[in-house]
Structure 1
Amino acid sequence: MSQQKSHRQRTTPVSAASLAEAAVQQELRPGQSIELLKELHILTRDGKLNQDSRRKLKQVYHLFQFIEPLLQEFSQGEHAPTLADHGAGKSYLGFILYDLYFKALGRGQIYGIEWRADLVEKSRLLAQRLGFERMSFLNLSVADSADAAELPERIDMVTALHACDTATDDAIAFGLQKRARAMVLVPCCQAEVAACLRQGKALQLARTPLAELWRHPLHTRELGSQITNVLRCLHLEASGYQVTVTELVGWEHSMKNELIIARYTGQKKRSAAERLGAILREFGLEQMLGARFGVAAATPATT
């Protein structure tokens, strides 16, 4: 009996480790790079999944399920799909997309665009170490990237995950210029419209009771964020895109949670352009923001 107990004590740790490894592999997709998942802190340094990393992994897969069908469509006929990831940061999204799709596809290119030089260099080194040969990293702002010689004339897909404030608008402008077939956007920290609302608050309060919607500073910030994304969706629809808005993850994980998916159809909606202009005028934003959203501001009346 004592020998059997001693034998169980010696073999149990090995069995537990094997079970833990098997459990991790069951959570992952076939062929995923373990080293990459460690670098992205989805796996712990010893290759395990804790509760937080399991939540991150589910978020990654949730986002990927929206992007994968588009990439599959763009890869038909041996086409080599191109993707530009704006405000890439540590290129979290680009690396995941390459690992889950581009690596097995064997063709196509991902361009990570980031203005912080140190993050660009780290991404370059990581891609080299992992053998992700068809990833390029450009040390550019989103606004300056459209005319960069390193980028092709056309881009199939544009992504921007948590690109702050007007960087999302710059990513949209980039996508329009590059005639992108799809854009996948998760906006973040929209402050510009809120600042415009604050600037004209006194006049608007006298003009319309709707200004009560942004009389208090907290409401100004929230409404500014809401209006910004509505304007973006209308701008995309007026430019020939079919737009879907959904949640990226549960609201308990992040308040920056709105996922905008735009797919080019070529059908430019006149009603979207008209409503876009009407909203800008109604909120007193036409002079400040009209040009950004393709709306010519009316010339102020002179006395």
Structure 2
Amino acid sequence: MSVATDLDLRPGQSVELLKELHILTREGKLNQDSRRKLKQVYHLHRFIEELLGDLPRHEGGPLVADHGAGKSYLGFILYDLTLRGQGSGQVWGIETRPELVARSQDLARRLGFERMHFLNIAAADAAHREDLPAQFDLVTALHACDTATDDAIAFGLQKDAQAMALVPCCQAEVAANLRQHKALALSRTPLAELWRHPLHTREVGSQLTNVLRCLYLEARGYQVTVTELVGWEHSMKNELILARRTGQRKRSAAERLRALLGEFGLQALEPVRFPGLPA
């Protein structure tokens, strides 16, 4: 079976890029792990392409920031399938591991992807870097671990992003707070039975984290959609949060967010993770 038939490659897609990303072997073969990764990136690319298509066009755009870029699978495939052919737009990969940043820089140079840039920096610090554009059209974070997703959201708000596409991973901060105050919560409300057992603490914390993030985005002027990225058989970290900026801040979303923080004893997180809420 040919590579194109086996993978259903997009027209004009660089097979050499897929080989360099080790998604394909040098012989053009694909193992199951690589197929799973490629399917996730393809699905996210489809959602991102739709988001970009809805945004107003401007000279030099669109500008995309990819947080927790890792090996930059998403950034490279987005550039290859969308930005390369249209001759404009930039991808900025933000990653803390210097060896991955150096590898991506080298690969972009060899492939002639001159509008791809990579920074060795934490997501939390990126919004204040002077060598980054003042505004971005789209912010993505594919499996950015724990609070790195919150940092990507904060970056998007700071940079007036028109849209965000987020696939959270390993949401631990809220669960840690629930665990710390569990005894008090159990004495205060029967609702705390939802996270009395350690496994439930982790699961409830993960669910609650993303609910709070969605309310925060709505409170800060975004329309939010939550869906599955791919089938659960491909990834357990499968929740995709899509946010489109409307500029209409929802006071009711801020009220519900604060109510949830109070109900779960998480008020201390508001100034840390949810600044700028409407009063």
TM bin (shorter chain) = over 0.9
- CA positional deviation for 1:67: 0.6
Q: Deviations over 1:154-202 (max 9, x none)?
A: 0100001111111100110000010000000000001110110011100
- CA positional deviation for 1:22: 5.5
- 1:11 counterpart residue number: none
- CA positional deviation for 1:140: 0.5
Q: 1:172 aligns with which of 153, 166, 173?
A: 153
Q: 2:2 aligns with which of 10, 20, 26?
A: 20
Q: Give the Cα–Cα distance (whole angstroms) in 2 for the partners of residues 295 and 282 of structure 1.
A: 20
Sequence identity (%): 72
Alignment length (residue pairs): 277
Taking structure 1 as the reference length, what is the TM-score of the superposition? 0.87
1:105 aligns with 2:86: yes
Q: Give the Cα–Cα distance (whole angstroms) in 2 for the partners of residues 32 and 184 of structure 1.
A: 23
Q: Deviations over 1:218-250 (max 9, x none)?
A: 000000001100000000000000000011111
- CA positional deviation for 1:105: 0.9
- CA positional deviation for 1:252: 1.3
Q: Give the Cα–Cα distance (whole angstroms) in 2 for the partners of residues 295 and 79 of structure 1.
A: 30
- 1:58 counterpart residue number: 39
Q: Is this contact kept in 2: 1:241–1:266, CA < 8 A?
A: yes
Q: Give the Cα–Cα distance (whole angstroms) in 1 for the partners of residues 108 and 169 of structure 2.
A: 26
Q: Deviations over 1:104-162 (max 9, x none)?
A: 01011110001111110000000001100000000110001001111111010000111
Q: 2:20 aligns with which of 34, 39, 64?
A: 39
1:244 aligns with 2:232: no
1:205 aligns with 2:186: yes
Q: Is this contact kept in 2: 1:75–1:81, CA < 8 A?
A: no
- Residues 21, 96 of structure 1: CA spacing in aligned structure 2 closer, same or farther, 3 A cutoff? closer
Q: Is this contact kept in 1: 2:136–2:156, CA < 8 A?
A: yes
- 1:184 counterpart residue number: 165
- CA positional deviation for 1:290: 4.3
Stretch moving more, 235-244 or 32-41: 32-41
AA aligned to 1:23 is T
- CA positional deviation for 1:79: 5.1
- CA positional deviation for 1:78: 4.8
Q: Give the Cα–Cα distance (whole angstroms) in 1 for the partners of residues 276 and 206 of structure 2.
A: 19
Determine which structure has more spread, i.e. the larger CA radius of gyration: 1
Matches within 5 A, 1:1-303: 20-21=2-3, 23-24=5-6, 27-74=8-55, 76=57, 78=59, 80-294=61-275
Q: Give the Cα–Cα distance (whole angstroms) in 1 for the partners of residues 3 and 213 of structure 2.
A: 44
Q: Give the Cα–Cα distance (whole angstroms) in 1 for the partners of residues 86 and 50 of structure 2.
A: 14
AA aligned to 1:110 is V
AA aligned to 2:151 is D
- Tell me how large the CA RMSD over aligned residues is: 1.7
Q: Is this contact kept in 2: 1:277–1:295, CA < 8 A?
A: no
Q: Give the Cα–Cα distance (whole angstroms) in 1 for the partners of residues 133 and 216 of structure 2.
A: 24
Q: Deviations over 1:258-294 (max 9, x none)?
A: 1000000111111100000000000000024444213
- CA positional deviation for 1:57: 3.4
Q: Give the Cα–Cα distance (whole angstroms) in 2 for the partners of residues 23 and 188 of structure 1.
A: 32
Taking structure 2 as the reference length, what is the TM-score of the superposition? 0.94
Q: Which consecutive residues of structure 2, in runs of 5 or more, have no partner in the other structure?
A: none
Q: Which consecutive residues of structure 1, in runs of 5 or more, have no partner in the other structure?
A: 1-18, 297-303
- CA positional deviation for 1:61: 2.2
Q: Give the Cα–Cα distance (whole angstroms) in 1 for the partners of residues 275 and 37 of structure 2.
A: 37
AA aligned to 2:204 is L
